């Protein structure tokens, strides 16, 4: 799966703030994601992100 820094991705589960969309801030073995709803940033393993992306 090709995910680039700056890309907005949509995940299957919603964040507690209600948003499904996340901006990719860093890639590698882990991803740093920023919630588009509230601005919260998290580090998530690559495998977890690739499984939880909602495909169109």
Q: Which residues does the chain have with pLDDT short of 50?
A: none
**pLDDT of the residue at 55:** 78
The residues that bridge with 23 in the sheet, in sequence order, are 8, 34
Q: Where are the domains of the chain?
A: 8-52
**pLDDT of the residue at 36:** 97
**pLDDT of the residue at 47:** 96
At residue 48, φ and ψ (nearest 5 deg) are -65, -45
Token reading at 52: 């939880």
Please tell me the distance from the alpha carbon of residue 43 to that of residue 27, in angstroms, as a whole number. Answer: 10
pTM across the whole model: 0.89
Please tell me the distance from the alpha carbon of residue 11 to that of residue 53, in angstroms, as a whole number. Answer: 4
């Amino acid at each position: 799966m090709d995910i680039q820094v700056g890309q907005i991705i949509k995940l299957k589960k919603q964040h507690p703030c209600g948003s499904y969309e996340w901006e990719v801030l860093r890639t590698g073995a882990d991803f740093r994601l920023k919630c588009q709803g509230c601005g919260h940033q998290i580090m998530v393993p690559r495998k977890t992100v690739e499984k939880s992306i909602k495909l169109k």
